[in-house]
Structure 1
Amino acid sequence: MGIFRKKMGKPLSEEGRIKRAAIRLRRIYRLYGNPEAEVEALTTRLLEADNLLEVRRIYEIICTQTHTRDNRELKNVTIQAFGKWGGVEEARQVFDAIRHPRNEAYRAIFEAYVNNGHLEDARRVFSSLPRAKSSWWIQMMAAYARYGKVAEASEIYNWMPHKKALGWSLLLIAYARNGLVDEASEMLQSVPASDSIAANAVLAAFARAGNVAAAKELFDYMPARTSGSWNSLAQAYAQAGHLAECVKAANLMPETTRGTWVAMIRAYGDHGMVAEARTAFDNLPRVTVDACNTLIVAYARNGHLVEAKELFDAMLVRSTVTWASIMEGCTMNNLAGQALEIFHWENCSGQLMPDQVVLSAVLSAHSWLGCLDDAAGIIRDMASDYGIRPRVEHYCAILAMLTSRSELGDAEDLAASMPFVAPASAWKLLLDVCKIRRDSARARRVAEEIVRLDPSGCAEPFMVVAGLYFREGRPQEAVDLMLEKGLAGQDVDLLTRG
């Protein structure tokens, strides 16, 4: 019997009709709850969701009820949540289901695309808006800059109707990070000399790119040097392994930051100077988790696994990077089985919520042990078990395992079919094994793919293929290939070397 069924009989009094209405309202409330409160609760749950699986579950609840399924605000937040946790296709489906989407929906799907590296989709959304706000321009620029697409970032900057200081700062940093020293320096000339923020941003970018000469030249040019300027210079020296200059800069700077000490610990570790790394660690004004992580890696890379484990055990607060560091340390020291034991024990005890970094360390351990099936199982179940979508580096770990086993057919299939564009480095790894196994037919296909991804380096891949042709007794095909690819001027002697 429906709750709205009309009863026949004696007409009700006014008081009776009011009572019946109250009963109906109570029944409606019990059946459907308070719609506004439910929308608010679901919005909060979406914003607080900490993995993709949880977002999916919440969205299933939303879709079961009309008053939540058709709520625009809830759809916008759903798009944001899917985008935050890598569910780009699901975010797109929610957006496509909105009739006449408004600015908030466009903003949500735009950010989902940008944050997950779907730049062409983001550009399409961006271009469809008649009047994009300044923040959209900046975000589009930042996305291109983040992925090394400097020409596209510069194009967006040139089209920007109202250029902001943040815009040219982003472009300056993009130039610097990608080694375009002349472009960055030229652009910096147009910035007021008193603008130390822009100069420090470029200096820091030069430091992260390891371009010590450009960092020092810019540092000497700066009329006003801040603590940040000195720290960036010191970090540039540390990253490049110029330890004496790094220590000198650290001693001269007015205030040494945590970042400088951590950079020094990392640099000492990279050069096998474990005692000096420990001294830099002990000089920290305050011990932090990232400093501990850096020292653990320094110990592990230099065979001091006991000291790494002692520091790990002494840490009261650990991040996922900490767990990944000690696991990678075990793998580096031929203890990959122990790395997996740490992962399984901590995962079962609830102390560890695996993330991308930890799972990469797990795959490295499986790779070292040659456990291909277990590694593939991790990737297959990553989304269902941990709410994490596999990334390109996870697939590349499997590809590396396949190439190490000379399973070239499966490796090529994986590189061509993974749900990402396989990087040129993955194809180059495959080409190296093709060269060892003398598989010229596959090497030719792989070389074509490498050049498609990185046209600037076309000589080396095709020279490898030509060399295989020569060793197979097919010199005419080698010559034809070199002429076809414009490599006639290359050293022919290289072709006949192993």
Structure 2
Amino acid sequence: MRHLSFEPKRSPATYKPWSSRDHRSIILLLLQRCSSRQQLAQIHARMVRNRLVQDTFAVSRIIALLTSPSALFSMVYARRVFDQIPHPNLFMWNSMIRGYTHQRAPRDALSTFKLLLACGGSSPDTYTYAATARACAQLKGLPTGSAVHGLVMKCGFDSDMFVTSGIINFYNSCGKVDVARQMFDEMPHKDVVSWTSIISGYLQLDQLDEGFRLFDEMRKVGVVPNKVTVVSLLSACGQSQALERGRRLHSRILEHGWESDLAVSNSVVSMYAKCGETTDAMDAFEKMPARNAATWNALIGGFVQSGHCREALSMLQEMGCSHTRPDEITIATALSACAQLGDLQQGKRLHAFIEDNMITCDVFLGNALINMYAKCGDLAEAEAIFRNMPVRDVFSWTALISGYVQGNCYKKALSHFEEMRLSQVKANEVTLVSLLSACSQLGALDWGRRIHAYVEENEVRKDRCLQNALVDMYAKCGCIDIALQIFHQVRCKDAHTWNAMIGGLAANGHGREAIGLFHQMHQIGDVRPDSVTLMAVIGACGHSGLVKEGVAYFDSMSRLYGIVPGVEHYGCLVDLLGRAGLVDEAMDLIDKMPMTPNDLIWGSLLAACRIHGKMGLAERAAQNLIKLAPNDEGAHVLVSNLYAQAGRWDDVGHVRSLMGCKRIAKSPGCSTIEVNGVVHEFVAGDR
């Protein structure tokens, strides 16, 4: 380690002891030139030896160096220095609070602010309240932030643009954009930071119309947008895939010459890529005079988000050829592409790249690996990585639990949630949506209720996805009344909300109520029915014997809703006709299908033929079913049962012999039952 020289060499004849003033001057000069934490430690040690640790200015400089984002940043070291000062000045307090917000440690920032108030030696100023408001925004703590807002007003800082912008940003982070807007409108003077804060609030709530309207108004009153404003708008366009808005914004960027800023150019590339405009994204990328790892990440990440995962992996290879080293974000994004594609081999190659290049596998990268292996079906490897991680956050648990749900290992997912809860890691909306899906598949009502209670007790944000999952779980577990209650509580219903409730009513024998709800959806008109909606409605008609209505809904799909019927819709109509005994009409429909019937359609027809004694059509259905599903156990058993019912035992023997040749064994019937919150599986013959 290189040591610092604190004193110039002097001959014995000219030697005079250094005064404290001389030492202080040298210390301040060295602090000004300090570039590493090792050097700073030496300077600090020298200050201790020369009793300069009480020098307010010098110690303030040390804390400032340690709390500003740089190579010297260390809040642990800063706190150690700070705690040794008997009477810190306001600059030191502000540095500590600001440093904790840089570290994204809002609780530490707020506890430091409370300590400042308790000590009473210094009164908070503009910088104190602005940094504290930022901590409240990071924490999304509405009660705490509201209390800080009250202090701001009491102390007369509510007229300060800097502080007010911070409070506006806090309310935006809590989703209280109406409160933020009221504060903004009451501000006598507004700078670019204030405008950007309120615009960002609307963008965070996907209210692009109001965000862009404010952007236009901002420019009209003569406030010039900064790169934060422009990047926020571009990011919102990419997230919402608002391509035309993004194009218009890009034109303004070119008019004002903002594209020379690397962050803005990266955001343009990302916006086009997220909107799926690969040509425009590549064009903007190629025109950039300078590129860094963030540029490549913007392009690759945008392609992944828009579903162009193959293109994303191709760009990763080009990045390697350009001699730009992939960082943790690049690798994590590429792993996400592999997860979406189910490309386990490419995912393993990326895992090997991490190990070969000794890239630190922190919790962020570890989570990406867990997600990739889980989504690609290698749950053993996902579990192994999870167990070997020294630190696991909510995303680690969510990736593993979601993988087990996707792999139909529902009981395993629920047991991991129990372990997660005991580990004191709080589940988020994504975790709980996956778990509710597991409950829906198992019919585990007690578990579903327990998870619902967890949502309420832990004040988990009930976004639309979580509410939809609750509706679906209760409906599939037969609790229609509770499902309807939650359904009516959803303020902004989307197609998934309506589909879950319509499908739930239909599956529980409330076909007419399901159709009534569909009519209500149609009358309100906020949400357009999709292919899943029509499938649920036709299915509801099938369960209620409403043949004419079901055929009418099928015929109206293209004409009224612009939905081309798929094979699944034909399957629902075949099932409807078969249930009503209209087997010949069902066969006629199959013959006229614009696509090849699948095994489910032939199976549905075969079941109808068996019930209504149509042996001629049944044989044709059986032949097609065996042809399409040569190794499907259920198909062979269905055909065998048909022949047995008709007393054609030679044909039964032939089917059984065929199953033996193909080594297809009839699995015993399996059911699940939930007793005292524990899901038990049992098969035929169990006790």
TM-score normalised to the size of structure 1?
0.69
Which residue does 1:426 correspond to in 2? 497
> How many residues are paired up?
429
CA shift, 1:114, in A, is: 0.9
- Per-residue CA deviation, residues 104-126 of structure 1 (Å, 9 max, x unaligned), is 79657633431122333432332
Question: Per the alignment, do residues 198 and 382 of structure 1 end up closer, same or farther by CA in structure 2, a change over 3 Å counting?
Answer: same
2:411 counterpart letter in structure 1: G
2:487 counterpart letter in structure 1: A
Q: Which stretches in structure 1 are left out of the alignment for 5+ residues?
A: 1-39
2:255 counterpart letter in structure 1: S
Q: For 1:190, what is the secondary structure of its paired residue? A: helix
Which of 298, 317, 327 is the equivalent residue of 1:257? 327
Q: Is the 8 A contact 1:328 1:364 kept in 2?
A: no
Q: For 2:260, what is the secondary structure of its paired residue? A: coil
Which residue does 2:300 correspond to in 1? 234
1:181 aligns with 2:243: yes
Which residue does 2:417 correspond to in 1? 343
2:231 counterpart letter in structure 1: S
Query: Where in structure 2 are the equivalents of 1:277-356 lying within 5 Å?
Result: 277-284=347-354, 285=357, 286=359, 287-348=361-422, 351-356=423-428
Query: Where in structure 2 are the equivalents of 1:96-135 lying within 5 Å?
Result: 102-103=158-159, 110-135=168-193
CA shift, 1:317, in A, is: 2.6
CA shift, 1:377, in A, is: 3.4
Q: Is the 8 A contact 1:79 1:92 kept in 2?
A: no
Which of 425, 435, 443 is the equivalent residue of 2:518? 443
CA shift, 1:165, in A, is: 2.2
Q: Is the 8 A contact 2:495 2:533 kept in 1?
A: no
Question: Per the alignment, do residues 446 and 72 of structure 1 end up closer, same or farther by CA in structure 2, a change over 3 Å counting?
Answer: farther
Q: For 2:391, what is the secondary structure of its paired residue? A: coil
Which of 463, 470, 475 is the equivalent residue of 1:398? 470
Q: Is the 8 A contact 1:113 1:122 kept in 2?
A: yes
Which residue does 1:220 correspond to in 2? 286
- Per-residue CA deviation, residues 156-203 of structure 1 (Å, 9 max, x unaligned), is 111113122222332233334333334433432324253333121121
CA shift, 1:50, in A, is: 5.5
CA shift, 1:307, in A, is: 1.4
Question: Per the alignment, do residues 460 and 322 of structure 1 end up closer, same or farther by CA in structure 2, a change over 3 Å counting?
Answer: closer
- Per-residue CA deviation, residues 295-340 of structure 1 (Å, 9 max, x unaligned), is 2222222321111112222222322211222222233333332333
Q: For 1:163, what is the secondary structure of its paired residue? A: coil
Which residue does 1:415 correspond to in 2? 487
Q: For 1:130, what is the secondary structure of its paired residue? A: coil
Which of 448, 452, 456 is the equivalent residue of 1:379? 452
Question: Per the alignment, do residues 447 and 390 of structure 1 end up closer, same or farther by CA in structure 2, a change over 3 Å counting?
Answer: same
CA shift, 1:262, in A, is: 1.8
1:179 counterpart letter in structure 2: Q
TM-score normalised to the size of structure 2?
0.52
CA shift, 1:446, in A, is: 3.3
Tell me the distance in 1 between the aligned counterparts of 2:477 and 2:180.
Answer: 39
2:476 counterpart letter in structure 1: S
Q: Is the 8 A contact 1:234 1:249 kept in 2?
A: no
Question: Per the alignment, do residues 359 and 85 of structure 1 end up closer, same or farther by CA in structure 2, a change over 3 Å counting?
Answer: farther
CA shift, 1:257, in A, is: 2.5
- Per-residue CA deviation, residues 60-112 of structure 1 (Å, 9 max, x unaligned), is xx9xxxx9xxx999999999887765564896699689789934796576334
1:446 counterpart letter in structure 2: M
1:163 counterpart letter in structure 2: V
Q: Which stretches in structure 2 are left out of the alignment for 5+ residues?
A: 1-92, 574-687
1:200 aligns with 2:266: yes
- Per-residue CA deviation, residues 430-483 of structure 1 (Å, 9 max, x unaligned), is 34555776421122223445x32x5xx4787997899789984787xx89xx9x
Q: For 1:242, what is the secondary structure of its paired residue? A: helix
Tell me the distance in 2 between the aligned counterparts of 1:190 and 1:84.
Answer: 35
Tell me the distance in 2 between the aligned counterparts of 1:93 and 1:181.
Answer: 41
CA shift, 1:414, in A, is: 0.6
Question: Per the alignment, do residues 217 and 92 of structure 1 end up closer, same or farther by CA in structure 2, a change over 3 Å counting?
Answer: same
Question: Per the alignment, do residues 297 and 135 of structure 1 end up closer, same or farther by CA in structure 2, a change over 3 Å counting?
Answer: same
Question: Per the alignment, do residues 216 and 333 of structure 1 end up closer, same or farther by CA in structure 2, a change over 3 Å counting?
Answer: same
1:334 counterpart letter in structure 2: N
Q: Is the 8 A contact 2:133 2:145 kept in 1?
A: yes
Which shifted more, 202-211 or 459-468?
Answer: 459-468
Tell me the distance in 2 between the aligned counterparts of 1:463 and 1:378.
Answer: 30
Which of 164, 174, 178 is the equivalent residue of 2:225? 164
Structure of higher RCO (CA pairs closer than 8 Å, 6+ residues apart): 1
Which residue does 2:630 correspond to in 1? none
Larger radius of gyration: 2
1:155 aligns with 2:213: yes
Tell me the distance in 2 between the aligned counterparts of 1:376 and 1:78.
Answer: 38
Tell me the distance in 1 between the aligned counterparts of 2:536 and 2:397.
Answer: 42
Tell me the distance in 2 between the aligned counterparts of 1:145 and 1:121.
Answer: 15
Tell me the distance in 2 between the aligned counterparts of 1:155 and 1:252.
Answer: 43
Q: For 2:519, what is the secondary structure of its paired residue? A: helix
